[in-house]
Amino acid sequence: MNMKYIIPFFVILFVFTFNLAAQHDSEKVEAKELADGTLYGADITAGSTVIKVEDIFADLKGYEGKTVVVEGAMSELCRSGGCWTIITDGKNYIRALTLHKFIMPKDMDITNKRAVIEGEFATKEITEEQAKHFAEESGKDPSTITGPQTMYRIKATGIKILK
């Protein structure tokens, strides 16, 4: 085999192998055990005022596009990839999306769990198909979804599941 083909072959092989390893690493659950819970993603900013889900719903426009630190009861979790959770006050719901920068264990028991989430809050209209996709990921029946939906979301940088 000619040397001018061998070197590019090994370069391509190295890059391909490196990309596969990087993809595998991004699928790992990143967890940091803390005294008050388990942290996924970036640390929650020290000294931040922690607000409740109901605080956001009392002033949706005021929080739109702002970084928030919010606490609520976990009510749903993405069971296909661990890439989002929903927190609630029992009446209102906010979906915290990890944007695949970190993930949580998709088989985690969220019964009676509370979470503190930091990230940018926004309201977004999603299609019926997107809403059905989220329902499927959480193990719910997607046939109950009809029409576009309003999604209240946080692009999460960190999620701490409290003890």
Question: Residues 70-123: pLDDT tens digits?
Answer: 999 999 999 999 999 999 999 999 999 999 999 999 999 999 999 999 999 999
Contact 154, 97 (CB under 8 A): yes
| 99 shares a domain with 87 | yes
The band of 29, judged by pLDDT with boundaries at 50, 70 and 90, is low
| 121 shares a domain with 72 | yes
- Average pLDDT of 15-19? 45
Contact 151, 126 (CB under 8 A): yes
Cα separations in angstroms, 93 against 23, 76, 144: 31, 10, 17
CA dist 163 and 149 (Å) reads 32
| 3 shares a domain with 17 | yes
Quote the domain boundaries for residue 70: 31-162
> What is the domain count for the chain?
2
